[in-house]
Amino acid sequence: MIDIKLLRQNPEIFIEALKKRNASTELVDEILKIDAEWRKLTTEINNLKAERNNLSKLVAKAKAEKDEEKAKELIERSKKIGEEIKKIEEKQKELEEKIMEIALNIPNIPADDVPVGKDETENVEIRRWGEPKKFDFEPKAHWDLGPDLGLLDFERAAKLSGSRFTVMYGYFARLERALIQFMLDVHTKEHGYTEVWVPQLVKREAMLWTGKLPKFEEDAYNTTQDDMFLIPTAEVPLVALHAQEILSEKELPKKYTAYSACFRREAGSYGKDVRGMIRQHQFDKVELVWITTPERSSEDLEQLTRDAERILQLLELPYRVITLCTGDLGFTAAKTYDIEVWLPSYNAYKEISSCSNTTDFQTRRSNIRFRGKDNKLHFAHALNGSGLAVGRTLVAIIENYQNPDGSITIPKVLVPYMGIERIP
């Protein structure tokens, strides 16, 4: 949620932000116009209410003095004012709803150090780690490798659930589980995160608080009977944890990690990543969320990103980190680093984690505040990142660690979790 006061005082900030994002700026003008009208009505209402409050006091006084005549007259006047207030309030409410509707559709302001660009082609690479492996044989894509080993089954998955679902058997299923365990262990034992186990169905409000609604309703699975949503990421329950709360500055930053399944309808991505298990309706993810202060949030994003990178380093998978340019930045994010892992099947780096500073965008919607050293209340900042997407990590391992005979070497750090050194 944007700060309407800031928009009122410095609309140019928002116009600039929307331009940088390659988005239309007319919402700003529209909201300003409605807001001016709203303030006019608000002042009118406030004055009328003040008058009515005064009359009410006089009524009480008149009644105490047993001056029924006077009380009656005052009540008449007060009644008329009440009717007038009601009329104006109806108009005010309409305007309020319009303002809300527009405000909820204005994205976060990009941070100053985010490169300006029109789309993903202008994202900026920050650093690389490791070298893409050179194979002295033709490496298979996971969508061939998995079925050949009898460990990935897209056909039966489609039978049960349709496209963009996968069934895994045996060692692959175990590898998925091992990765979850491994990632959680690293983040809790080495990076100081608190492990959280969260609901994977949330109320509409939780989706709204975290910026997933109302703009992206078509992307989410919704249970029609109870209006619950299947979470698209554990970021939703983790950020919503502290909604409507006032935290003390001492307890910040809060660093949470959670495993969850994630559910996405992938509406509008029909042509993308149709083969294999890169883009699924259901996938596992270990999520990282920080609730922190405005002073340190941009520094904290660096740390969060490093924490996610650490998993790839331990797995010895080559990757690079890019900064999303303003045109590619997500709705809630002020700044985002994507971590991309090397995938032989794509012959390219492919997103495996997205680490964002949402500044006060989500905390404003969720009303997450903290009492600062100045003893005043401030909105906290919220960061989130994948640490990592488990399914894509599994794909990266099987593709990068495959051998000429079709077997797969297990990365050293996973051997204790798998109990074997190679598949099969």
Partner RNA sequence: GGAGAGGUGGCCGAGUGGUCGAAGGCGCUUGCCUGCUAAGCAAGUGUGGGGGUUACCCCACCGAGGGUUCGAAUCCCUCCCUCUCCGCCA
Q: For RNA, which stretch binds (CB under 7 A), given 4-12, 135-143, 176-184, 281-289?
A: 4-12
Tell me if residue 354 is catalytic. yes
Q: Which is nearer to RNA, 46 or 403 (CB)?
A: 46
Q: Which residues of 21-41 are buried (b: 16+ CB within 10 A; e: fewer)?
A: bebebebbeebbebbeebeeb
Task: At 154, list the tokens.
Answer: 């897209």
**What is the rounded distance in angstroms from the CA atom of residue 334 to the CA atom of residue 400?**
33
Preceding omega of 294 cis (within 30 degrees of 0): no
Q: Is residue 205 annotated as part of the catalytic site, yes or no?
A: no
Minimum CB distance to RNA, residue 100 (Å): 12
Please, which of residues 62-101 interact with RNA by CB under 7 A?
A: 63-64, 75, 78-79, 82, 93
Residue 49 binds RNA, judged by CB under 7 A = yes
Least CB distance to RNA at residue 201 (A) = 11
22 lines the binding site for RNA (CB under 7 A): no
Q: How many residues bind RNA (CB under 7 A)?
A: 32
Could you tell me which residues come within 8 angstroms of residue 46 by beta carbon, excluding any fewer than 6 positions away?
none
Does 52 sit near RNA (CB under 7 A)?
Answer: yes
Give the CA diameter of the chain. Answer: 104
Active-site residue flag, 269: no
Q: Applying CB under 7 A, which of residues 46, 163, 269, 403 lies at the interface with RNA?
A: 46
Nearest to 201 by CA among 223, 181, 217: 223
> Which phi and psi angles does 136 have, rounded to 5°?
-95, 20
**Catalytically annotated residue among 128, 351, 371, 422:** 351
**DSSP state for residue 74 in the 8-state scheme:** H
Residue 207, interface with RNA (CB under 7 A)? no
Q: Of 383, 357, 379, 382, nearest to 369 (Cα)? A: 379
Q: Which of 164, 364, 369, 392 is catalytic?
A: 392
Out of 10, 12, 30, 39, the residue judged to bind RNA by CB under 7 A: 39
Q: Report helix angle 390-400 to 170-185, nearest 10.
A: 120
Query: Which residue in 354, 356, 366, 386 is the catalytic one?
Result: 354
Other CB atoms closer than 10 Å to residue 212's CB: what's the count? 24
CB nearer to RNA: give 56 or 163: 56
The residue within the footprint of RNA, chosen from 12, 29, 56, 223 (CB under 7 A), is 56
310 catalytic per annotation: no
CA dist 295 → 253, 276, 301 (Å): 11, 42, 12
The answer to whether residue 55 forms part of the interface with RNA (CB under 7 A) is yes
Q: Is residue 108 a contact partner of residue 331, using CB atoms and an 8 Å limit?
A: yes
Q: Which is nearer to RNA, 6 or 348 (CB)?
A: 6
Do residues 220 and 202 lie in contact, with contact meaning Cβ atoms separated by under 8 Å?
no
- Looking at 17-25, 109-117, 165-173, 374-382, which segment touches RNA (CB under 7 A)? 374-382
Q: Are 388 and 286 in contact (CB under 8 A)?
A: yes
For the bound state, the minimum distance from the C-beta of residue 142 to RNA, rounded and expressed in Å, comes to 32
Work out whether 6 is an interface residue with RNA (CB under 7 A): no
Phi, psi of 277 (to 5 degrees): -115, 30
Query: Which among 396, 175, 193, 221 has a CA at the least distance from the CA of 287?
Result: 193
Q: Which stretch binds RNA (CB under 7 A): 48-56, 109-117, 274-282, 351-359?
A: 48-56
Residue closest to 228 by CA, chosen among 213, 215, 248, 244: 213
Active site residue 279: yes
Q: Is 60 in the site for RNA (CB under 7 A)?
A: yes
Tokens of residue 353, six digits: 């984690």
By beta-carbon proximity to RNA, the closer residue of 47 and 407 is 47
- Among residues 43, 163, 194, 269, which is the contact residue for RNA, using CB under 7 A? 43
Contact region with RNA (CB under 7 A), list: 50-58, 147-155, 187-195, 256-264: 50-58
Rounded CA separation 319/134 (Å): 15
Please tell me whether residue 289 binds RNA under the rule CB under 7 A: no
Nearest in space to 408 (alpha carbons), one of 165, 220, 144 = 144
Among 31, 34, 59, 352, binds RNA (CB under 7 A): 59
194 contacts RNA (rule: CB under 7 A): no
The residues annotated as belonging to the active site are 264, 279, 351, 354, 392
Residues of this chain that interact with RNA (CB under 7 A) are: 4-5, 8, 39, 42-43, 45-47, 49-50, 52-57, 59-60, 63-64, 75, 78-79, 82, 93, 203, 246, 371, 375-377
